Amino acid sequence: MSEPGGRADRAARAALTWLAEPGNREVWELVQQAGAPAALDRLLAGDVQSRSLRSAIAARSAAGDARQVAETTLRYAESLGARLVVPADDEWPARVDTLATLEVESRVRVNRDTRPPLCFWVRGALPLGATLERSVAIVGARAATGYGVHVASDLAYGLTERGWTVVSGGAFGIDAAAHHGALAASGTTVAVLACGVDRPYPASNATMFARIAEQGLLISEWPPGAEPLRHRFLIRNRVIAAATAGTVVVEAAARSGATQTMSRVLALNRPAMVVPGPVTSAMSVGCHELLRTHPDARLVTSVSDVLEEVGRVGEYLEPPPRGRERVRDRLDEESALIMEALPRRGALTPEELAARARLELRTVLRRLTLLESAGLVMRAEDGIMLATREA
């Protein structure tokens, strides 16, 4: 086996992701067994089990020599300021290798082919692994509403402010809102693409992608030049699920891609977090359906809810929300009963008050002195009354 991370290993991995789609089970297993260069030799010799893999390789090979293409692509990537990251590298994000354990039942092959990436093409200065170590994925609908955009961008802002990396795709809607929120906080954000890092898709997000490359990372399993074919988004989704400490879905229509990502997250035993929304919004139907059908999916409403899920137990715990804390909430039981018994308007004699509160008169008299000095009740001519009107 050639030296992992050496020139031959890198070139072979680059060639393999051009020859076959990432995540392919057979390719990944060959690489694990024999190393990337030997796996490439076998693939090019047509020595593979799967008929469809063999025919795909043959079709690809008819278009060019895989080793040649890889060399050209590596040089082209270098000229772009992009680099290839392979498992032997220090900056390899080890968490994605847990995909090796992921078993998914599906009718469609791209959903079953969920093996770990062979390599990543990366644009941006930050080290990939360290950047993804404390990261949260924020995903959701392209056709997001103003509400979803607001929440996604707010969450991303708050998470990066607390030192977390945001991870998302590159689409309109929730993906873009998450990146924008992180960028606005001068935080770190990572776009995981389903095409080459030289041509992030959609092109109309170009300004955003340029800022992400400056401030965070653009990464892809596909070599520069690769097109954003539809099935690639499904393959890409497994990386978003596996590379992060947890995933938040902000808005999702029924049966959307976000639902598929969430199944991966749950299968990987990572926190699968869902932001609810108005039940009147079609863009929250997928979110509510996730919460109704997956007992392990967690409803989150804020940055602190998210940190509670992904952070080490206790580290980010915040107290549950409370209504406006009032002096009345801190009263002992008898004083509380007296306050409850007082009418909103008008006064009561201490005797009436005792009857209503079901307390003894002397208890009422003793408590009234304290309640009066606390400014909660006052003595009027016709008896005791509330000192302040309550809403």
Binding site for a copy of itself (CB under 8 A): 20-21, 51-53, 55-56, 58-60, 62-63, 107-110, 147, 150-151, 227, 229-231, 253-256, 275-280, 284-285, 288-289, 291-293, 295, 298-299, 301-302, 305, 320-323, 333, 336-337, 340-341, 343, 351-352, 354-361
Rounded to 5 degrees, φ, ψ at 51 are: -65, -40
Q: Which CB sits closer to a copy of itself, 239 or 291?
A: 291
Q: Give the contacts of 191 (CB within 8 A, at least 6 positions apart).
A: 168, 169, 170, 175, 179, 200, 209, 212, 216, 217, 218, 219
Task: Report in angstroms how near the CB of residue 164 gets to a copy of itself at its nearest.
Answer: 18
Closest CB to a copy of itself among residues 91, 161: 161
Smallest distance from a copy of itself to CB 237, Å:
14
- Residues facing residue 167 across a β-bridge: 137, 190
Rounded CA-CA distance 96/131 in Å is 13
Report the nearest approach of a copy of itself to the CB of residue 7 (Å).
28
**Residues 294, 268: Cα–Cα separation, whole Å:** 14
As a dihedral over the C-alpha atoms of residue 30, residue 78, residue 8, residue 62, rounded to 10 degrees, the angle is 60
DSSP conformation letters of 42-62? HHHTT--S-HHHHHHHHHHHH
The strand pair at 377-380 and 383-386 is best described as antiparallel
Cis peptide before 200 (omega within 30 of 0): no
What SS3 class is residue 390? coil
| 252 Cα distance to chain centroid | 13
User: In angstroms, what is the minimal distance from the CB of 201 to a copy of itself?
Assistant: 11
CB of 238 to a copy of itself, least distance (A): 16
Using the minimum distance from each CB to a copy of itself, give the nearer residue, 186 or 269.
269
40 vs 258, which CB is nearer to a copy of itself?
258
Quick one: which H or E segment has residue 362? Answer: helix 361-373
Tell me whether residue 126 or residue 143 sits nearer to a copy of itself (CB atom).
143
Cβ proximity to a copy of itself, 210 vs 254, nearer residue: 254
Nearer to a copy of itself, 214 or 340 (CB): 340
Cα–Cα–Cα angle for 302, 169, 292, rounded to 5 degrees: 50
Is 103 or 390 the residue whose CB approaches a copy of itself more closely? 390
* Nearest distance, CB of residue 133 and a copy of itself, angstroms: 26
- CA–CA distance from 57 to each of 116, 196, 270 (Å)? 20, 20, 34
* CB closer to a copy of itself, 163 vs 321: 321
Where would I find the H helices in 162-302?
174-184, 206-215, 230-243, 257-267, 285-293
Asked if residues 37 and 6 have their Cβ atoms less than 8 Å apart, the reply is no
We find the least distance from the C-beta atom of residue 78 to a copy of itself, in angstroms, to be: 27
Q: Rounded to the nearest whole angstrom, what is the least distance from the CB of residue 340 to a copy of itself in the complex? A: 4
Write down the least CB distance from residue 224 to a copy of itself, Å: 18
* Dihedral of the alpha carbons of 50, 52, 53, 56, in degrees to the nearest 10: 160
State which residue, 58 or 88, has the beta carbon closest to a copy of itself. Answer: 58
- φ, ψ of residue 125 to 5 degrees: the values are -85, -25
For the CB of residue 46, give the shortest distance to a copy of itself in the complex, in Å.
Answer: 13
